[in-house]
A and B are shown apart, each in its own frame.
Chain A
């Protein structure tokens, strides 16, 4: 299908991109294009200007920043997947990217683009939220940092202003944590019906810390705080984790669609949370 006409600009610096964004009346940022292009082609959106960030080198790559790692917004999923810093310090991200869409999408789509798109069924929101990631946002007036908790506002809606660009995501290091992303789908390339991101720190068979994020259980990624609290101090056994995971659906508001109604998703959340936590704990 053919998109409506738009103007296309591909700046090489962030400053030029911000300038173009502030000048355009109705613009969309294109990163990897894996979500935007279908939207344009199906004419669900018809922006006047499309600003391509693909030529801005500074937005690409993963770097070590002391107590955090920083993933550039334009880093492709395939590069995140193989990055040793991510694997060592934010393993749940690696696990989520491993099952994100398909190889073609992983080689075009970007880390920041997927997060800024804020699809509640996207695979990166729950891990980012669980790890207390910080979103670095640039505007013409400078940069600001938004906590993951505040970044996801609603369905396809983030704290980004119209004139702002997500430049990088800072993730506090959690070396030595076990992690797992348990994704439930009917066919491999499908958006998750429900998925659970779990990262745990186990000390001598006991769960010392736990972080659990839920995908597609509401209009934004959600944190399963009740589960996290219940897990702390528990042995990493099926029985204990099962009991803690029982509250996984607390405070969620999952959708009902062709793949399952809300009740079924709530049930799935408890099963998948148990499995994710046990896998993360290596149990």
Chain B
């Protein structure tokens, strides 16, 4: 039997339309909130309006008496069974953390915390009754401001005795990865350049499209839980360990999930409560949050103060970087809350060859919604800091920001490169990406236009921002996670099942929530096994189907999950070889596999993989001692992170009369290694860019003096729409990663990580002639206007950066260049 099919074009690299989109965009799919079960009850949460208060009494009688209300439960009612929500990343041995009940028992620590749950036959009746639960609070002073909280002025959790949860340090001298940063700083102070800045990473809200929703059915032998989550395997594990249900009795399904951005990387109080209530009542229960609840009580992201000290020689060669972070945990430690700033610890040095580095982070409690993973998680904060600082260094030296970077970055021939933060960057080519980006951007022409506008005192000024970023993603080598005291590993699992008809089922432990795994993974398997793209079915997101997995976050699905898939597919081929040899009456050493066909070397004899699959299914004519199966699985633990990089260039027009900003041009050249599907990569880059640009310009979670979230709806929390974007120039260079078979690097977070500093650098670049050296994010028109006019007596609305420049600085570089203004504040203005 011979197969003479024409060789199919490789699927990898093709712009395949996403398989999953038809069901998603035509509404044929079923989201968690669409699930209806017989006899299902609905939950509504009663939430604290106060940031910090003692609960003195909860009156539930009136609510219980409402029609079709089944019960109302308070924290006291479930105190025994609800356990404490998990923190999987105690970053230090002595990390302090308060107990974290799903329903507060006697004290609430942020506005939005759940104090009771109403269970009724319809969602409307549950909501109506929730309004009638009467809670008496005795208000306590809230700790709100991060810096004040770090000084323990007011305690977020009086029982802890301090707001400081943990202090974590990395020092290159101690680690043996570099020299002493203090010596570098002293040397720079004597005879070099020292730049000190303080930057604010404002609090952000993940704002995924599908609000979180959970359904629990306790009526079967197993507890079945559907949840709009990124992490069904985590949820299963924590239902077991927090609520005491045997893990084998829990099945968690993440059906199609509408976005997460880290916001659904959590074991939530609402998930725990729904399970507790369903088990108690023996009935299926559903809870779906409202958008208001989502914004108020779903975990937030970022929220840091960054004090940065960069030391350099007079010619702008970097000699040291010291980072002091205050990180706002909010009221509790969620799943990975405490570890988020630590993920940035290895990235503050960026792509530059710092000989000395020190990172210090203090995690601080406040009475606000807890923070946790949000797209980029720790790395956007780090990238922002270093890319802003390198731009400031260029300004001090008086050279182009790209030139200062080139003087200091790792050259392509220097890879693999061991960094001062202890990582080994495997590959990269910063020169190539930058060169291409400059060309696509029209860098020199835009610089010339900028000069013309400056000379003409054009009311609309032009600023050009640069961000040459790298990031570590593909979380993560388990050994590294272990060394950082993270509770879990970082491997991923995959199975490949050959069906009798030649179709292929692929099971992945990654859990897609918009990424397009079904399409990209089908492309990989189609190439690996030589089967049609359409014949591959990708299964995921159900712990009964994908029994092993560590889910999707940290740009890991392809670099880790994809590699597991490659290894599983390769095992299928290896298993098929002796079977093919037997059927073809050849020696297994003569069997060669190419494009779906097992051939006998030197002959035209061969069998297609589908034929082997059918023969294996029948198992009538089978080699002695060989198991009749081709199905294979693999668990892959990455040996290293992946390090995508790129050069992002942004041109912003600033209306100096209003402070209004308009993006003029944005070009990015990302090196994400081998691209499986350019369409999906473009989507990830576009979406990532917008999310990062939104941090620079629009989004901020703001609390008032009593701890109430002011930006509690999309009226005030400004998530951009397509109308606020421009056409981005998205391009690539390709330096394949050498740490995985396919040469891929992560792309899910790259755009978000890179774009924020590019935009702010552009804004500051436009304003530098006005003596402005920083604008706090989001760069609102008001902040920009006031920064421009700070020198002519307008209220700046913010304190200037402290100690921004050393005494050795040439004043001309930071002085106000506007006519008639004598600069007395060489630090420049800062908002």
Interface residues of A (CB under 8 A from B): 1-2, 4-5, 42-43, 102, 184, 186-191, 193, 257-261, 263-264, 267-268, 271-272
Quick one: closest B residue to A190, CB to CB?
B718
Docked complex Cα distance between A261 and B700 (Å): 17
> Does B786 lie within 8 Å of A264, measured CB to CB?
yes
Given contacts A191-B715, A259-B782, A263-B795, contact A186 B291 (CB under 8 A): no
Docked complex Cα distance between A261 and B795 (Å): 11
Interface of A, secondary structure class, is loop
- B290 interface contact, C-beta 8 A: yes
15 other contacts beyond A2-B124, A184-B781, A188-B721, with CB at 8 A cut-off? A1-B291, A4-B131, A186-B697, A186-B780, A187-B698, A187-B721, A187-B724, A190-B718, A193-B781, A259-B781, A259-B782, A261-B782, A263-B795, A267-B785, A271-B657
> Does B292 lie within 8 Å of A184, measured CB to CB?
no
Please give, as numbers and ranges, the residues of chain A lying within 8 Å of B781 by CB-CB distance: 184, 186, 193, 259-260
Docked complex Cα distance between A102 and B721 (Å): 10
Please give, as numbers and ranges, the residues of chain B lying within 8 Å of A258 by CB-CB distance: 700, 702, 710-711, 716
Please give, as numbers and ranges, the residues of chain B lying within 8 Å of A2 by CB-CB distance: 123-124, 127
- B720 interface contact, C-beta 8 A: yes
**B697-727 CB contacts (< 8 Å) to partner A:** 697-698, 700, 702, 710-711, 713, 715-716, 718-721, 723-724
Quick one: closest A residue to B702, CB to CB?
A258
Docked complex Cα distance between A238 and B157 (Å): 60
10 nearest interchain CB pairs?
A188-B723, A1-B290, A260-B782, A2-B124, A2-B127, A264-B782, A187-B724, A187-B718, A271-B657, A187-B720
Please give, as numbers and ranges, the residues of chain A lying within 8 Å of B786 by CB-CB distance: 264
Which of B128, B291, B723, B785 contacts A5 (CB under 8 A)? B128
Which of B290, B292, B658, B711 contacts A268 (CB under 8 A)? B658
> Does A189 lie within 8 Å of B128, measured CB to CB?
no
Given contacts A191-B715, A258-B702, A260-B782, contact A184 B723 (CB under 8 A): no
Which of B697, B724, B782 contacts A188 (CB under 8 A)? B724
A–B Cβ pairs within 8 angstroms, 17 of them: A1-B127, A1-B291, A4-B131, A42-B292, A43-B131, A184-B658, A187-B719, A187-B720, A187-B724, A188-B724, A189-B721, A190-B718, A193-B781, A257-B716, A263-B795, A271-B658, A272-B658
Please give, as numbers and ranges, the residues of chain A lying within 8 Å of B702 by CB-CB distance: 258
- B660 interface contact, C-beta 8 A: yes
**Which of A189, A257, A261 has its CB near the most chain B CB atoms (within 10 A)?**
A189
> Does B124 lie within 8 Å of A5, measured CB to CB?
yes
Quick one: closest A residue to B781, CB to CB?
A186
Please give, as numbers and ranges, the residues of chain A lying within 8 Å of B700 by CB-CB distance: 258
**B764-801 CB contacts (< 8 Å) to partner A:** 780-782, 785-786, 795, 797
Please give, as numbers and ranges, the residues of chain B lying within 8 Å of A261 by CB-CB distance: 782, 797
Please give, as numbers and ranges, the residues of chain B lying within 8 Å of A257 by CB-CB distance: 716
Q: Please, what's the 1-or-0 string for B628-669, where 1 marks a CB less than 8 Å from any CB in chain A?
A: 000000000000000000000000000001101000000000
Please give, as numbers and ranges, the residues of chain A lying within 8 Å of B795 by CB-CB distance: 263
Docked complex Cα distance between A267 and B290 (Å): 38
Query: Nearest chain B CB to A216's CB is how many angstroms away?
Result: 13
> Does B723 lie within 8 Å of A260, measured CB to CB?
no
Please give, as numbers and ranges, the residues of chain B lying within 8 Å of A189 by CB-CB distance: 721, 723
Query: Nearest chain A CB to B33's CB is how many angstroms away?
Result: 12
Please give, as numbers and ranges, the residues of chain A lying within 8 Å of B780 by CB-CB distance: 186, 259-260
Query: Nearest chain B CB to A74's CB is how many angstroms away?
Result: 25
Docked complex Cα distance between A237 and B65 (Å): 71
Interface residues of B (CB under 8 A from A): 123-124, 127-128, 131, 290-292, 657-658, 660, 697-698, 700, 702, 710-711, 713, 715-716, 718-721, 723-724, 780-782, 785-786, 795, 797
Given contacts A1-B290, A264-B782, contact A186 B128 (CB under 8 A): no
Query: Nearest chain B CB to A37's CB is how many angstroms away?
Result: 13
Please give, as numbers and ranges, the residues of chain A lying within 8 Å of B123 by CB-CB distance: 2
Please give, as numbers and ranges, the residues of chain B lying within 8 Å of A4 by CB-CB distance: 128, 131
Docked complex Cα distance between A102 and B715 (Å): 13
Query: Nearest chain B CB to A25's CB is how many angstroms away?
Result: 19
Please give, as numbers and ranges, the residues of chain A lying within 8 Å of B660 by CB-CB distance: 184
Query: Nearest chain B CB to A90's CB is how many angstroms away?
Result: 26
Docked complex Cα distance between A259 and B715 (Å): 11
Which of B292, B657, B718 contacts A1 (CB under 8 A)? B292
Query: Nearest chain B CB to A138's CB is how many angstroms away?
Result: 32
Docked complex Cα distance between A187 and B290 (Å): 23
Query: Nearest chain B CB to A214's CB is how many angstroms away?
Result: 15
Query: Nearest chain A CB to B795's CB is how many angstroms away?
Result: 7
**Which of A258, A261, A272 has its CB near the most chain B CB atoms (within 10 A)?**
A258
Docked complex Cα distance between A4 and B127 (Å): 8
Please give, as numbers and ranges, the residues of chain B lying within 8 Å of A193 by CB-CB distance: 781
Query: Nearest chain A CB to B106's CB is how many angstroms away?
Result: 27
Please give, as numbers and ranges, the residues of chain B lying within 8 Å of A260 by CB-CB distance: 780-782
Given contacts A259-B780, A259-B782, contact A186 B657 (CB under 8 A): no
**Which of A190, A193, A264 has its CB near the most chain B CB atoms (within 10 A)?**
A264
Docked complex Cα distance between A203 and B656 (Å): 32
Please give, as numbers and ranges, the residues of chain A lying within 8 Å of B719 by CB-CB distance: 187
Docked complex Cα distance between A267 and B711 (Å): 24
Docked complex Cα distance between A260 and B658 (Å): 11
Please give, as numbers and ranges, the residues of chain A lying within 8 Å of B797 by CB-CB distance: 261
Quick one: closest B residue to A43, CB to CB?
B131
Docked complex Cα distance between A271 and B788 (Å): 16
Docked complex Cα distance between A272 and B781 (Å): 14
Please give, as numbers and ranges, the residues of chain A lying within 8 Å of B124 by CB-CB distance: 2, 5
Please give, as numbers and ranges, the residues of chain A lying within 8 Å of B711 by CB-CB distance: 258
**Which of B715, B724, B782 has its CB near the most chain A CB atoms (within 10 A)?**
B782
Docked complex Cα distance between A184 and B291 (Å): 27
Query: Nearest chain A CB to B82's CB is how many angstroms away?
Result: 25
Please give, as numbers and ranges, the residues of chain B lying within 8 Å of A267 by CB-CB distance: 785
Docked complex Cα distance between A43 and B132 (Å): 13
Quick one: closest A residue to B123, CB to CB?
A2
Please give, as numbers and ranges, the residues of chain A lying within 8 Å of B131 by CB-CB distance: 4, 43
Please give, as numbers and ranges, the residues of chain B lying within 8 Å of A102 by CB-CB distance: 721, 723
Please give, as numbers and ranges, the residues of chain A lying within 8 Å of B290 by CB-CB distance: 1
Docked complex Cα distance between A19 and B702 (Å): 45
Docked complex Cα distance between A216 and B716 (Å): 15
Please give, as numbers and ranges, the residues of chain A lying within 8 Å of B710 by CB-CB distance: 258
Query: Nearest chain A CB to B786's CB is how many angstroms away?
Result: 7
Quick one: closest B residue to A263, CB to CB?
B795
Quick one: closest B residue to A264, CB to CB?
B782
Docked complex Cα distance between A269 and B127 (Å): 43
Which of A43, A184, A186 contacts B718 (CB under 8 A)? A186
Docked complex Cα distance between A260 and B723 (Å): 22
Quick one: closest B residue to A270, CB to CB?
B657
Query: Nearest chain B CB to A52's CB is how many angstroms away?
Result: 19
Docked complex Cα distance between A107 and B466 (Å): 41
Please give, as numbers and ranges, the residues of chain B lying within 8 Å of A264 by CB-CB distance: 782, 785-786
Query: Nearest chain A CB to B123's CB is how many angstroms away?
Result: 6
Query: Nearest chain B CB to A256's CB is how many angstroms away?
Result: 10
**Which of B131, B713, B781 has its CB near the most chain A CB atoms (within 10 A)?**
B781
Docked complex Cα distance between A190 and B657 (Å): 20
Docked complex Cα distance between A272 and B655 (Å): 12
Docked complex Cα distance between A2 and B700 (Å): 27
Docked complex Cα distance between A4 and B129 (Å): 10
Query: Nearest chain A CB to B758's CB is how many angstroms away?
Result: 19
Quick one: closest B residue to A41, CB to CB?
B290
**Which of A1, A184, A191 has its CB near the most chain B CB atoms (within 10 A)?**
A1
Query: Nearest chain A CB to B296's CB is how many angstroms away?
Result: 12
Query: Nearest chain A CB to B191's CB is how many angstroms away?
Result: 44
Quick one: closest A residue to B126, CB to CB?
A2
Quick one: closest B residue to A191, CB to CB?
B715
Please give, as numbers and ranges, the residues of chain A lying within 8 Å of B715 by CB-CB distance: 190-191
Please give, as numbers and ranges, the residues of chain A lying within 8 Å of B292 by CB-CB distance: 1, 42
Please give, as numbers and ranges, the residues of chain A lying within 8 Å of B785 by CB-CB distance: 264, 267
Docked complex Cα distance between A187 and B131 (Å): 34
Quick one: closest B residue to A194, CB to CB?
B658
Query: Nearest chain A CB to B386's CB is how many angstroms away?
Result: 27
